Amino acid sequence: MPSVLLLATFLLGPVIWSFYGSFTNSALSGPNAKNPQFIGLKNYVDLMNDPVFPLSLIVTLVFVIVSAIIGQNVLGMSIALLMQRANHVVGSIVGTLVVAAWVLPEIVAAFIAYAYFSNDGTLNQLLALIGVTGPNWLFSFPMVAIILANVWRGTAFSMLVYQAALQDVPTEITEAAMVDGAGGVQRLIYITLPMIKTSISTNLMLITLQTLSVFTLIWVMTKGGPASASSTLPVLAYHEAFQFGDIGYGTAIATIMLVVGAIFATIYVLLLRSEDQVK
């Protein structure tokens, strides 16, 4: 009961209060800041008529799918598989380099990524050494830059999850498959992946929800620009609530983000349940 009360107070309570706030005209300043009024679905109607919102929703989905579900997940598993075959020294060096980006404070990682992709940054200076003039990545290809930055920073988590999962795969099964003539790809597809399905689903759920809430990295690198080209839902909510002062409207965007996260989480939970039923 104490645990339930704590969760209700510090987790469920703010969610309910935020949900209610999305139906008000609460503002950061002015008369609506002191006496917000209940306005029903007006914020959500305005949201559906806002041309920036569908773009922001698409940008968010692209960011989550490409940088988390594909990027961090696949790269993390690939590194974990390679480290299984590497010697101890190489494995330690690679592991340290990958984890270093993950343990950095998010604001520090964001400034490093900005310095790397900026117009006069490290990437363009490296390209200049081979005679190539690089573009302004944060202006011309903002989504590419923030996706790569998020993959760089978040891959370590997936790598650690898959390292632990791969250690639980019985070696006698893979050795028996090798004796039967199964190649590396066949062993991966028919033995390793099926045996770590639960870890895959759990990892996907965690990195998806984590990536969905990324704010600092995008804000430092592009501030959602140019022209909302990299404005995900958290960035759009911040713009509306704290730059334009419309707290109620910004809270409505945050509620939509909560719904998107719940949809992803539900899909992963259903996958986990189906795996448990098969077992």
Determine the pLDDT at residue 175: 79
Ordered domains of the chain (ranges, CATH): 2-278 (1.10.3720.10)
Tokens coding 190: 């028919």
pLDDT tens per residue, range 115-130: 999 999 999 999 999 9
Listed in sequence order, the residues at least 6 apart from 251 whose beta carbon sits closer than 8 Å to its beta carbon are 18, 21, 22, 26, 43, 237, 241
H/E stretch holding 247: helix 247-278
pLDDT, average across residues 223-229: 90
Listed in sequence order, the residues at least 6 apart from 230 whose beta carbon sits closer than 8 Å to its beta carbon are 59, 142, 143, 146, 218, 221, 222, 224
* Range of weakest confidence among 8-17, 137-146, 227-236: 8-17
Tokens coding 162: 């898959």
Residue 272 has pLDDT above 80, yes or no: no
pLDDT: which is higher, 176 or 59: 59
Determine the pLDDT at residue 88: 78
- Round to whole Å and give the CA distance between 248 and 245: 9
Instruction: Outline where 36-135 has alpha helix (H).
Output: 42-49, 52-64, 73-85, 88-103, 106-117, 122-129
Strongest mean pLDDT among 5-9, 120-124, 182-186: 120-124
Q: Rg of the chain over CA atoms, in angstroms?
A: 22
Determine the pLDDT at residue 26: 93
User: pLDDT-based confidence at 158, cuts 50/70/90?
Assistant: very high
pLDDT tens per residue, range 50-101: 999 999 999 999 999 999 999 999 999 999 988 888 787 887 888 888 888 8
